[in-house]
Structure 1
């Protein structure tokens, strides 16, 4: 009898942990529960189509550079700098660990090249140099980054540096990163093309980027990848195709490949649900390339109660992206 009761209670506990909303068949990337989070937002109206731990604190890693670029674009818009402005590289900037372009103290980089280095290469030395130039010090620039985050509605984000290199006090959420992604597209459409670049030329050499979804998945036009050991593999992805727009954030992937596969699954599932569009979303590659891999649906890993749910979070109000 005692054994039967124990089994019954275990079954009740299992049912209680299940969501009444739809559980998706797409597979979660292997990740520790303290790292994984995700959100899919209809960028046309701010409606949340999917979320999993979207407001849980996470390390942004190089997604931080999205805000560094936001403030850079803002300075350009305000006429404080131009694309030909020379950015000096301090010893502090030059000493940053990879990813970097490898500057030495006293060298300079034009702002135009710096923007490309941040968006494509995710260069840490350039991020610090830009932060020091625009903010006086990197610390002061990080304070401005946090202040801008609050202004945009990123209520759970704190920046401590311009690069995203490890700092225990630097944190964000998947939802906040979605807000930032939408703000970049809305406020700086004339500069948004930087996020779609797969490479750029610097000092006669081709520098390749890290975002392997670009040019391979229909409609993907940015935005930014990131990785540190504490965060896992992060990405903010913008998709714009057939009159539909999504912002997808996945944080805490076990590998870049698994993170990307997860994003592709979310695109396939949620692009048809986005507002607008007169045609069915096509998943064919945007350019001749290897076919998009078919990712088999696998059982969700044991990561605590982490069902993948439809519209479980409040929408991301478009008013926050003003």
Structure 2
């Protein structure tokens, strides 16, 4: 029944990574199981940050961008990504109803506080998640799309890996406290960029500063939407363990930047740091356009939040995560390789009969896009930058259900695929190894 709720593309991904689904919430993936995040490393602060160019994906600044962190309610960006995906594929309409189960209604604040059996429209649900960060609504939407929150969380992890979120694992849809739910500043920037790239028609939901629900006006707590020119999203988050988080984006002079700030010591500190990063980033881009060689780091006064974590207002609340502990470590290992679908392998074998013999049955995937043109551009970019590793590979754009197009290099040996992905990933570009399907 669960598979019927998913697009064919996500079903194939779920089959290829069946271990994630079968283990459910009980066991972390191999990569994430290696992170000893239940121990405290008091010597290193919680703060992590990154700034990227939304158009090119170029990283302009990073500070511990690959160290594991608790995402808190920034998690809801992934819940919303899958909601937007269902809308764009016709599996969901803005006027559809989202019902509240006893499990959804029982979630900790912040929430709408609806009773079991009550329902709201999908449009209201999206507003409640982006503006109020309603945990009960996030769970209700997860159950609406995935059948259960646990299954939906497994799908969140799978979709994240497909987007290139190499070091993230989700076990709930809201971001409420759970020591197994971790991400990184880089992964959350990848998710933010994918959301605005893949679903621009729904991105404006992140700019809403408030909405009226059943006669009551609900005001949001993303203060930069009102105070910083050009700032138009995305999502705040807070737990005691995570500190004050924010994934944000702004546009200035035709350029869009994305920044993620994790582990701030207060709402004000987090917002000020976000504004400093973005403002400095725009200044750097302008100076570069005039031939000056400079960086954000060279122009930013870095004053990390070393003071105590302050309690948020009730408007900010994601719940309390004080009992959880975290160690801030180096990059986790990459996820296990995805397997090629039987149809793709059959196509490769058929092509091999009429063309020169392939050098191997392995491949690498360097992105998934909403149009063939974008996928071809990515192939061209990767081939020009990593010709040494993919010169003998065949570039291909593989269509999938739901309108997604995967940019892949096929016909590699296992050794060549691993080497190519290692080199591509080292430059902070998404890459997944595609193993041949032996069964």
Range class of TM-score, shorter chain: 0.7 to 0.9
The SS at the match of 1:214 is helix
**Which residue matches 1:78?**
89
The two structures have a TM-score, normalised by structure 2, of 0.57
Count of residue correspondences: 265
**Which residue matches 2:197?**
186
TM-superposed deviation, 1:301: 6.5
CA distance in 2, matches of 1:253, 1:104: 34
The SS at the match of 1:233 is strand
The SS at the match of 1:215 is helix
**Which residue matches 1:4?**
none
**Which residue matches 1:50?**
61
The equivalences for 1:163-174 within 5 A come to 163-174=174-185
Counterpart of 2:173 (choices 162, 166, 180) is: 162
Deviation digits for residues 145-201 of structure 1, max 9, x if unmatched? 000000000000000000000111000000000000000100000000000011011
The SS at the match of 1:164 is coil
Q: Which consecutive aligned stretches of 4+ in structure 1 deviate over 6 angstroms post-superposition?
A: 275-279
The SS at the match of 2:224 is coil
CA distance in 1, matches of 2:426, 2:269: 27
Deviation digits for residues 258-313 of structure 1, max 9, x if unmatched? 0001111112211122379999xxxxxxxxxxxxxxxx95865779xxxxxxxxx9
Flag the structure with more relative contact order, 1 or 2, with Cα contacts below 8 A and sequence separation at least 6. 1
Closer, same or farther: CA 184–98 of 1 in aligned 2, 3 Å: same
**Which residue matches 2:429?**
317
**Which residue matches 1:269?**
280
CA RMSD after TM alignment: 2.5
**Which residue matches 1:15?**
none
CA distance in 1, matches of 2:240, 2:109: 13
TM-superposed deviation, 1:255: 0.5
CA distance in 2, matches of 1:301, 1:108: 41
Greater radius of gyration (CA): 2
The two structures have a TM-score, normalised by structure 1, of 0.77
Whichever structure has more helix as a proportion of its residues is 2
Deviation digits for residues 54-109 of structure 1, max 9, x if unmatched? 00000000010000000000001111110011111011111111110111111001
Would you say the 8 A contact 1:243–1:276 is kept in 2? no
Is the counterpart of residue 239 in structure 1 residue 250 in structure 2? yes
**Which residue matches 2:117?**
106
Q: Tell me, which stretches of 5 or more residues in structure 2 are unaligned? A: 1-41, 291-299, 308-424, 433-439
Deviation digits for residues 184-241 of structure 1, max 9, x if unmatched? 1000000000000110111011101110000211110100000111100000011112
CA distance in 1, matches of 2:259, 2:271: 11
Closer, same or farther: CA 254–299 of 1 in aligned 2, 3 Å: closer
Between 1:261-270 and 1:53-62, the stretch displaced more is 261-270
The equivalences for 1:1-322 within 5 A come to 33-274=44-285, 316-317=428-429
